[in-house]
Structure 1
Amino acid sequence: MANPTRSSLINPTFTVNNSLKFSNTTRESEDQSLVSNDASTIVGAIILSLVFLIGVPGNLFIIWSILARSRKRSVTTLLILNLACADGFLMALTIFFVVYLAKQTWIFSSFLCKTLFYLCNVNMYASIMLITLMSLHRLVAVVWPHHIGAFSKKRTVLRVLAGLWVSVLVLALPALIFREVREDTAERGRTRFVCAPNHVRSSEASAKEGMEVFQYTFETVVGFFMPYAVIVSSYVCILRRLRRTKFNRRVRSENLIHAIIVVFGVFWLPYHIINMIQVVAALAPANTPLAIRLDKIWRSSRAVSSSLAFISSCANPILYTFAGRSYIKNNGLAFMARLFEGTALDSGTRKMRKETLGLKTIESSSTGAQAVIIVK
């Protein structure tokens, strides 16, 4: 591998080759950046521009609605507030990526290269963890309603949220470690700088591939598959519980949570599929048709799949608008605040009473939003 150039030391940058090593040959440097494919770069820039225009004002409106207009803040509302803060902050950063894709060269500092991609990963982990917490809270509210009060205390919720944010900041560290600016002169005979993964921490090709496999496998397993397994398991338990009850009525907040889960999965799934394709390409025998084909697929799709993932952060305000459209006529700009107040199911203010009907004792747990009746 070539030594860093003088200009790369000034910026500072590294020359990175994170690709597969062909057996008995030295493979030329190949680009793992978002700008490695022209068509994908153009589509990605268009998507991110739309995401910026919709996502920034949309998430700011959610934050304003909760902080300034909402009279009641349930656990679900607090989780949505944290999700909107994470998404809004990420949306504000998309302008850097639009410039990067449009110019097809990294014009910012090495510090911003590391920081921006690190914050993207923080948002990914924070979003899925917050959605997982929503699902778990629903699970407790429906399956173990007697214990929902303990999980709805303000101090408990704040501690959980603080622990969540510390966890996601740690989980996203690989994106901070394995990311560098490098000078690329191998394509079209011109020099440019790219902000790309840098797994060169050892002279051994196997070690480089191992770090690449670790990063993308870790992202996909911890940031997607494991949380979604928890979410699906939670709702399986919820549905089984509700099927055993005599009374079941869906509430608006439950439908809203379902929509958030589906949208996140739809727009993040392509990104994680590309991660897995890159992992398989790294593990495949070098210089084989399979490795070359998979290598080409993930390189040509990385920019688009990454841009699609950003859509999930601007889609939530649209979901909330559709969910709360019935409030618009009577509440105007406060319609979203009224929608979030409807999540008072998880406020923990429940009245427990026992009624005797014939030989069966029915214990009902009710709130203004939903009633769950358990036949014993």
Structure 2
Amino acid sequence: MDGLSLLDTDYNDTYLDERFYFEDNIDAFGITMAILYPLVCILGLAGNSLVIVAILKLDKMSSSTTVYIFNLALADGLFMVGLPFIASQNFQNRWVFGDIACKVVMVLDGINQFTSVFCLTVMSIDRYMALADPLRFARWRTPRCAKIVSAVLWLFSLLTILPMALHFSADKGLCIPELVSDSWWLGILSYTFVMGFALPFTMMTASYTALLLTLRLQRLRRSTPNQESHRLERQVTRMVVAVVVVFGVCWLPFYTFNFCSLHQSGLVLTFARAFECMVLLSYSWSCANPILYACLSDTFRRHFRTLLCPMVKSSPSMQCNTERYDLNDTGDATLPA
């Protein structure tokens, strides 16, 4: 679980005393974070909104791939909604929105975080089925099936996060979990790490590794060299490396700092600020997905160009016929999931 839950501390009284002991003067770090938080929020909302509009207007969720990408963008966009609340608490050193709002924000924050990760994981499996053996898995890759799977992911995220999110309270001035015991908190950290990072990361890595091995084997089996298959393999390799690296870079430091907080006998200012940077880094992952679409997918580049440059439509010679761009084609192999 991200944001307010693991944002600041190991949640003991020592931390709370030190947190409020820190000077309230606005220094360079505070100003920098005050700029970065809204910047990440705006970029995340704008980028994911663009993906959603592109899919609804130009693709109309005609494939399983775009159904999953739509739900990923929706979860990532809604994930950004909780960022202003976190920024406010960090900047003011207190939660000013009330106890009910604390619980609601944490529930929504957790649902969107886990749904985003789960969607990315399912998309890695979908990519394997689409490129390894499309005919064999065709009945599992229909838009209807993808919508059912996506609905299950949202429900599973709610059930996964609800018991923990309801333990949050703003009674002590910060929106933090009510600490039952050290072992309870260690269990929560381990649970979120496994469900939110370790298991999805392992499944993504396994799916993409199997996909790359399958594509290479298919290419080697051909009697004559095929430039198109070799190009496809290179594109998928770039996509795999980008997805796995970005996911790991954005989330592993966050969970690492959470476990390190268990061994902090007294939280120092440097650790608290580094922790805050890790939280912001984890949120920036939701901004990275639309950028990956634009950089790695020819299809989405064309969709984005159509939406952002409407004047192109006025020139028949430059007009982009979006109907012929099917996200199930080989260009879809470069999608970041």
Provide the TM-score with structure 2 as the length reference: 0.75
8 Å CA contact 2:15–2:266 kept in 1: the answer is no
Render the CA deviation track for 1:264-305: whole Å, top value 9, x for unaligned.
Answer: 3221121111122234x2xxxxxxxxx537888764533221
Match of 2:174 among 194, 210, 215: 194
Q: Are 1:331 and 2:331 counterparts?
A: no
Percent identity (aligned): 27
Paired position in structure 2 for 1:91: 80
Equivalent residue letter for 1:113: C
Paired position in structure 2 for 1:221: 194
8 Å CA contact 2:250–2:285 kept in 1: the answer is yes
Structure 1 segment 20-59 matched on structure 2, within 5 A = 29-31=14-16, 43-59=32-48
Q: Are 1:250 and 2:235 counterparts?
A: no
Paired position in structure 2 for 1:344: 328
Q: Tell me by how many angstroms 1:68 deviates.
A: 1.6
Task: Give the gaps of 5 or more residues in structure 1.
Answer: 1-15, 20-27, 184-192, 201-207, 282-290, 346-366, 371-376
More helix by percentage:
2
Equivalent residue letter for 1:241: T
Q: Are 1:104 and 2:93 counterparts?
A: yes
Equivalent residue letter for 1:259: A
Provide the TM-score with structure 1 as the length reference: 0.68
Render the CA deviation track for 1:38-74: whole Å, top value 9, x for unaligned.
Answer: 7876654432111122122222121111112225622
Identify if the C-alpha distance between structure 1 residues 82 and 341 changes in structure 2 by more than 3 Å, giving closer, same or farther: farther
Match of 2:250 among 267, 290, 298: 267
**Structure 2 SS opposite 1:244:** helix
Aligned length: 300
More strand by percentage:
1
Identify if the C-alpha distance between structure 1 residues 97 and 124 changes in structure 2 by more than 3 Å, giving closer, same or farther: same
Match of 2:69 among 59, 63, 80: 80
Structure 1 segment 1-376 matched on structure 2, within 5 A = 18-19=11-12, 29-31=14-16, 43-70=32-59, 73-183=62-172, 193-200=173-180, 208-246=181-219, 247=226, 248=229, 249-250=231-232, 255=238, 259-279=242-262, 281=263, 292=265, 299-323=272-296, 324=298, 327=302, 331=306, 333=308, 341-345=325-329
Equivalent residue letter for 1:198: E
8 Å CA contact 2:79–2:113 kept in 1: the answer is no
Q: Distance in 2 between matches of 1:140 and 1:54?
A: 32
Identify if the C-alpha distance between structure 1 residues 35 and 156 changes in structure 2 by more than 3 Å, giving closer, same or farther: farther
Identify if the C-alpha distance between structure 1 residues 222 and 368 changes in structure 2 by more than 3 Å, giving closer, same or farther: closer
Identify if the C-alpha distance between structure 1 residues 312 and 296 changes in structure 2 by more than 3 Å, giving closer, same or farther: same
Q: Tell me by how many angstroms 1:140 deviates.
A: 1.9
**Structure 2 SS opposite 1:344:** coil
Q: Distance in 2 between matches of 1:97 and 1:215?
A: 20
8 Å CA contact 2:250–2:282 kept in 1: the answer is yes
Paired position in structure 2 for 1:286: none
Task: Give the gaps of 5 or more residues in structure 2.
Answer: 1-8, 220-225, 311-319
8 Å CA contact 1:256–1:320 kept in 2: the answer is no
Q: Distance in 2 between matches of 1:36 and 1:82?
A: 42
Root-mean-square deviation (CA), in Å? Answer: 3.6
Render the CA deviation track for 1:123-169: whole Å, top value 9, x for unaligned.
Answer: 22111111111111122223333322111123321221111111111
8 Å CA contact 2:111–2:157 kept in 1: the answer is yes
Identify if the C-alpha distance between structure 1 residues 156 and 235 changes in structure 2 by more than 3 Å, giving closer, same or farther: same
Larger Rg: 1
Q: Distance in 2 between matches of 1:226 and 1:44?
A: 31
Identify if the C-alpha distance between structure 1 residues 239 and 73 changes in structure 2 by more than 3 Å, giving closer, same or farther: same
